[in-house]
Structure 1
Amino acid sequence: MHRVEHVMGFPVSLRVDDPHIGEETGDAVFAWLREVDERFSPFKAGSEVSRYGRGELPADALSADLVEVLDLCERYRVATGGAFDVRLPGRGFDPCAIVKGWSVQRAAELLAAAGARRFCLNAGGDVVTGGGPWRVGVRHPEIADKLCTVLELTDGAVATSARYERGDHIIDGRTGAPATGLLSVTVVAATLTEADAVATAAFAMGPEGVEWAAGLQGCEVYVVDAERRVLRTAGFPGVGEGAAAA
């Protein structure tokens, strides 16, 4: 199975190499992602997230899913000393930095529960895999058609936070200013929930976020800083360099 759909504002590509997995499993994956978009988008006035952000939902009326997302948001806010914050002044409540990885990881769990042994789910460049090995390229932060590195991934996830797609969109919650100390942060972890959140949080922290992310158990990190130096943990599963930024 190989399908691509545009969901939550970015392309989502699903590849499953198990012939016994039918299209109904792919239907369930994309149905879940569309449901997430309806329920958790801060850009849709009627979504649960928007209603919560406006103070229309009391705590006892929240879905279990939103409670889980809120717990994750608070966990990373505390862990980064406020650099990662989904409640920025003047911007409203926006948990997208958590919701993307969390929801795509849930989709991967749907695949595994259906019996998929070898699959790759790519959501706007953030990837979660089953089986493998799979080779995943990490885009150069300044040259769109080149790669910084290629890594090998089996039963895991990789996410990158960078400035190249949306400019200075990641805000350091401690200062309210765009985070500009790094060009890109790539994190490999067991789940996309963690990989995506850690990559965004480390980027928001700036240079100090490199050491923070590298010190997290189960995370491997590849960073290009503002001076175009490449920093990586010893266990980062790179198998080849492209046009490296350093």
Structure 2
Amino acid sequence: MRFLDTVMGIPMSIDVRDPRDATAAAGRAFAVLREADERFSAYRPDSELSRVNAHGGGLDGVSDDFREVVALGSALADASGGAFRIRRPDGSWDLDGVVKGWAADRAARVLTEAAFRDHCLNAGGDVAVAGSPGDGRPWHVAVRSPDSATELLAVLEVTDGGVATSGAYERGTHIVDGRTGAAATGLRSATVVADDLTMADLLATAVFALGPHGVRWALGHGARAVLAVAADGTLLGVGDLAFARAEDDG
């Protein structure tokens, strides 16, 4: 059973492999994503993020969710030597590199708690999977080529984990190396497989900011595997990468 919605301005889908009706659980999962958007959107003047930034960025009185997201981002900023950043030069919070994966993980947890063990949540190309699509098989997660939206770089086999990709091919050079303040240009794309989508999303952004050095660095900071394309087109892969065969389905 598949469910579709648009949240955070991007298409999202939930695929549940269970004979029971998952409509109510999927609705609750999408509600979690919408609540995160309402809290953290930089484009909504009434969001908590906008209010906090408008009052100087102090954390007094912020929600537990806000503190959690800041803590996750701060930890990775420290681990990456500042390449990953959650503040802009003016001191305001920039939490985009944390929120989508964190919120999608929370939404996927709703499905697990409702006993829908086998599911896939796709948040605009960043994916959280649990269980199997059938017969104990791993889920197949497509990774698009940085050169074309219609071409695939790879199809990965993933069980119980998250896959996230960062790149400059859709939104331009929006990822900044926080150490220099300049746009990150060492990679064309970076895909990370981790135990959950929160970590995969954080690390994908950090790897992209760090450049080629970040590919192996990520293995020591929570990544199961990394697949990246360098600026010159070289394919860089480390860790436990499992590729689906061309004849496999699903």
Q: For the superposition of Structure 1 and Structure 2, which TM-score range results when normalised by the shorter chain?
A: over 0.9
Whole-Å separation in 2 of the counterparts to 1:179 and 1:57:
25
- Percent identity of paired positions between Structure 1 and Structure 2: 48
Aligned residue among 167, 179, 183 for 2:184: 179
Question: Does residue 1:211 correspond to 2:206, yes or no?
Answer: no
Structure 1 match to 2:143: 138
The answer to whether the 8 Å contact 1:151/1:240 transfers is: no
Write the letter of the residue equivalent to 1:31: A
2-structure distance, mates of 1:25, 1:159: 23
- Relative distance call for 1:160 and 1:240 in structure 2 (3 A) is farther
In structure 2, give the amino acid aligned to 1:85. Answer: R
> SS where residue 87 of structure 1 aligns?
coil
Distance 1:58 1:183 in 2: 35
RMSD: 1.6
Q: Structure 1 residue 20: deviation in Å?
A: 2.0
Distance in 1, Cα, partners of 2:176 & 2:201: 15
1:73 and 1:120 map into 2 onto residues whose CA distance is 25
Partner of 1:32: 32
Q: Which moved more, 1:82-91 or 1:191-200?
A: 82-91
Cα distance change on mapping 1:86 and 1:58 into 2, 3 Å: closer
Matched residues in 1 for 2:47 and 2:222: separation?
A: 35
Kept in 2: contact 1:21–1:114 (CA 8 A)? no
Return the letter of the residue paired with 2:238.
Answer: T
Q: Alignment partner of 2:244: what SS? A: strand
Whether contact under 8 Å (1:207, 1:225) holds in the other structure is yes
Contact preservation (8 Å) 2:164, 2:197: yes
CA apart distance, 1:153: 1.1
Q: What's the offset of the Cα at 1:61? A: 1.2
Determine the C-alpha separation between the residues in 2 that align with 1:108 and 1:224. Answer: 29
Give, in whole Å, the separation in 2 of the partners of 1:189 and 1:80. Answer: 17
Q: TM-score, normalised by structure 1?
A: 0.93
Equivalent residue number for residue 231 of structure 2: 226
Matched, 1:105 2:110: no
Q: Which amino acid aligns with 1:127?
A: V
Query: Runs of 5+ in structure 2 lacking a partner?
Result: 133-137
- 1:170 Cα shift? 0.3
- Residue number among 147, 155, 160 corresponding to 2:160 in the alignment: 155
SS across alignment from 1:146: strand
CA distance in 2, matches of 1:198, 1:185: 9
Task: Give the TM-score normalised by the residue count of structure 2.
Answer: 0.92
Task: Choose 71-80 or 213-222, whichever is displaced more.
Answer: 213-222
Aligned partner letter, 1:135:
H
Preserved CA contact (<8 Å) 1:149 1:240: no
Contact map agreement 1:88 1:176 (CA 8 A) in 2: no
Distance 1:144 1:56 in 2: 39
Contiguous gaps of at least 5 residues in structure 1? 242-246
Q: What is the rounded CA distance, in whole Å, between the counterparts of 2:238 and 2:244 in structure 1? A: 14
Partners of 1:58 and 1:139 lie apart in 2 by 39
Matches within 5 A, 1:1-246: 1-55=1-55, 59-90=59-90, 92-132=92-132, 133-240=138-245
The alpha-carbon deviation at position 56 of structure 1 amounts to 6.2
> How many pairs are equivalent?
241
1:244 is aligned to: none
CA distance in 2, matches of 1:17, 1:140: 28
